[in-house]
Amino acid sequence: MPDMPDMQTNTSGASDSSGSPGAPGAPAAAPARKIHRAGTLRYTMAGIVMLFMWLLWGDFGFTIFEEIFGRFLPLYMKDLGASNTMIGVLTGSLGGIVNLLFLPGISIASDRHRGPRGRRIPFLLWSTPCAVASLILIGFSSEIGGWLQALLGGASVEVTVATVTLVMLSIFVGMYHFFNMVLVNLYNCLLRDVVPPALMARFLALFRIVSTLGRFVFSWYVFPHILTHRELVFLGIGMIYLAAFMLMCWRVKEGEYAPPATEKPKGILSTYITYFRDCLTVPVYRNFLFMYACVTVASTCAMPFVTLYTRDTIGLSMEQIGKAFAWGWLAAAVAYIPFGYLCDKVSPMRVAACALSGLMLAWGVGYFAIRDGTSWLVYWVVVQMAPGTAWNLSFTALTMQLFHQGKFAQLSSGLNVLGYGVTSIAGNFLCGKFIDLTGGNYQMIFVWSFFWFALGVGFMALVYRHWKRLGGADDYTAPLPGKSAST
C-alpha cells in the first residue's frame, strides 16, 4: 500500500487566528489517527484493512493453486502405473533439488535488490505467469503425451502413451517446482516486509483462516472432479490464480530499504559459501532448520501416501476423501482464532513446541485408530487437526520473529533449501522406497511419520534452549550471522 502520512495534532503551542489551543472557545484539535508502521511504510487503519484484504485475497488463490498440485499428482501418477518411489521423487525430491540449486542465489538476490517496485514484488511478477503456465501443462500432460506418442509411433518407435506422459509430466513438474519455489519464499518475505510487526500475529491468524477456507473450497468442490474433469479444473484454477496474484502485486506497495550491508558475493561458489555459513553458524538458526527438516520428512514427504492410503487401503471414494479433508479444514479455520490468541499470550515458541509434540502423538495414534471411513473422519478432524492447526500458525509466527530482518529472505529460505530441499531429495525417495519395501502397505506411513516427528521434537528442545538464552519471550534479539553471532 502507498505510504500514509502521519496525522498528528499540533503540540507546539503556537497560536493561530482563533486563539491558542488551550484558550476558551478555541476549536478542538482533531484527534490523532493511530499510525501502524512497517519499516518506512505507514498505515492508517483504513490502509491496514486494504493491505490485509489484498494479501489475503492473493493467499486464497495461492492455497487452491498449491492444493491441486499436491492432491492430484500422486493419484494421477498411480493411475499411470508409476511406482511409489517415482511418486515420491516427482512430488518432493525433484522440488528439493530445485530448491537446493537455485534458492540460495534467488534469496540473496532478493535481499539485495533495490528497485521502484521493491525487492520482493519484481520476483513475484515474473514467476507467477510461469508457475501458472507450468501447472496448466501438468493438467494437459495426457493430451500432450498422446500427441507426442503418435509422432513417435509414426517413426516406428514402440512406446506407450503412459510412458510418454510420465516423461512430459516430469518436465512440467520440474518447471512447476522452480517457479513455485520463487513464489512461496518471496511471498512470505513480502509479508515480513509490509505487515506491521505489532499486527503480525493477528494477520497470520487471518492468513491461516483464509488459506484453510481455500483448502475447504478445494476439497469440497474441486477435489472430487480433478481426475474426471482434469483439463477444465487446471485451466480454470490457473487463470483465477493468475488474476488474483497479479492484482495483489499491483495493489500492495513495498517501502524503502537501507542499502545492502554486506559485500555482494562474487561467483556461484562464493554465493553458496556465504549462504550456508550464515544459515548454519548461529546455533538457534541451525537447530531450527534441522527441526524443520525432520517435520518435512514426517509430513510433506508422507502426504502423497496418506491420500493413497485413504483411497486404496480404506477404500474411500474421491468425494468421500474430499469431504473428509474439507471438514478438517473447516475445523482448523475455527481453531485458528484461539490458537492465534494463545500465540500472543504465551509466545509462538511455546505453542510450537507443544504442537509439535502433539503431532508426534497424533501420528502414532493414527496407526492403531484408523480402520474405516468413520474412524478416518474422526481422526482427521479431531485428533490430527488440532495439533496441526496450532503448529501451522505458531511455526509461521515464530519464523517471522526468529530470523534477523536484514537477511530475512536468505535465512528463512534456509527452511526450503536445507529443511525442504536437501531433505526432500532423499526424504521423498526413501519414503516411497519404504512403502514399496513394505509391499505397498500405506498404513506404515504413520510409523514413518511418528519416528521423524519424534526426532523433530528433540531438535525443537535445542531451539527452545537457545531462544531462552537470547532473551526468550520478552527480550529475544535475533542474531545477525557473523563471527560474533556464532560465538
Is residue 6 included in any domain, yes or no? Answer: no
Q: Of 397, 373, 401, 389, which Cα lies nearest the Cα of 339?
A: 389
d(C-alpha 123, C-alpha 117), whole Å: 10
β-bridge partners, 36: 43
Tell me which range, 196-200, 259-263, 383-387, 426-430, is most confidently predicted by mean pLDDT.
383-387
Lowest-confidence segment of 93-97, 112-116, 219-223, 385-389 by average pLDDT? 93-97
CA 128-132-135 angle, to 5 degrees, is 140
For the ranges 70-84, 306-320, 351-365, the one whose mean pLDDT is highest: 351-365
> In this structure, is residue 320 part of a structural domain?
yes
pLDDT at position 23 over 80:
no
| Top-ranked range on mean pLDDT: pick from 193-197, 261-265, 414-418, 461-465 | 461-465
Nine-digit cell string for 312: 486404496
Q: What is the pLDDT of residue 484?
A: 44
If you average pLDDT over residues 462-480, what whole number do you get?
A: 91
Identify which of 307, 315, 305, 313 has the alpha carbon closest to the alpha carbon of residue 430.
305
Phi/psi-derived region of residue 153, left when phi > 0, alpha when psi is between -120 and 50, beta in every other case: alpha
Range with the lowest mean pLDDT among 196-200, 236-240, 268-272? 268-272
Return the half-sphere exposure (C-beta side, CA atoms, 13 A cut-off) of residue 208.
26
For residue 232, how many other CB atoms are within 10 A of its CB?
Answer: 12
Helix (H) or strand (E) holding 43: strand 41-43
What is the DSSP track for 398-458? HHHHHS-GGGHHHHHHHIIIIIIIIHHHHHHHHHHHHHHHTTS-GGGHHHHHHHHHHHHHH
Query: Is residue 65 situated within a structural domain?
Result: yes
**What is the torsion angle, in degrees rounded to the nearest 10, for the CA atoms of residue 399, residue 400, residue 401 and residue 407?**
90
How many of the other CB atoms lie within 10 Å of CB of 458? 12
**pTM given for the model:** 0.67
Q: Is residue 20 part of a domain?
A: no
pLDDT at residue 200 above 70?
Answer: yes
Residue 149 belongs to domain spanning: 36-254+263-486
Share above pLDDT 90 across residues of the chain, in percent, rounded to a whole number:
25
Q: How many CA atoms lie within 13 A of 240 on its CB side?
A: 17
Is 191 within 8 Å of 39 (Cβ atoms)?
A: no
C-alpha to C-alpha distance for 445 and 421, rounded to whole angstroms: 21
pLDDT confidence tier of residue 261, bands split at 50, 70 and 90 = low
Residue pointed to by grid coordinates 534458492: 103
CATH number of the domain bearing residue 93 = 1.20.1250.20
Q: What is the pLDDT of residue 88?
A: 77
The pLDDT value given to residue 7: 32
Q: Give the model's pLDDT for residue 284.
A: 94
Quick check: 301 pLDDT over 50? yes
- Kindly report the backbone phi and psi dihedral angles of residue 289, in degrees, each rounded to the nearest multiple of 5, phi listed first: -65, -40
Determine the pLDDT at residue 412: 81
Q: Residue 447 contacts by C-beta under 8 Å, 6 or more apart in sequence?
A: 367
Q: Diameter of the chain by CA atoms? A: 100
Cα 299 to the center of its chain, rounded Å: 13
- Confidence tier at 9 by pLDDT (50, 70, 90): very low
- Asked whether residue 17 is assigned to any structural domain, the reply reads no
Does any domain span residue 30? no
Residue 391 lies in a domain: yes
Asked whether the beta carbons of 172 and 134 are under 8 A apart, the reply is yes
The two beta strands, 41-43 and 36-38, are antiparallel
Q: What's the rounded Cα separation, in Å, for the pair 41 and 37?
A: 6
* Average pLDDT over the chain, rounded to an integer: 83
Average pLDDT over residues 102-130: 88
First to last CA, the chain: 40
pLDDT digits (tens, 9 = 90+) for 143-194: 998 888 887 765 545 677 888 888 888 899 889 889 988 888 888 889 888 9
Is 8 contained in some domain? Answer: no
Concatenated DSSP letters of 212-229: HHHHHHIIIIIGGGTTTT
Per the structure, how many domains does the chain have?
Answer: 1
Q: What gap in Å lies between CA 388 and CA 354, rounded to an integer?
A: 11
Residue 28 pLDDT > 60 = no
DSSP, res 199? G
Grid cell 492430484 — which residue?
72
As a whole number of angstroms, the distance between CA 274 and CA 260 comes to 14
List of E strands, 119-261: none
Q: Could you tell me which of 317, 286, 255, 245 has the C-alpha nearest to residue 403?
A: 286
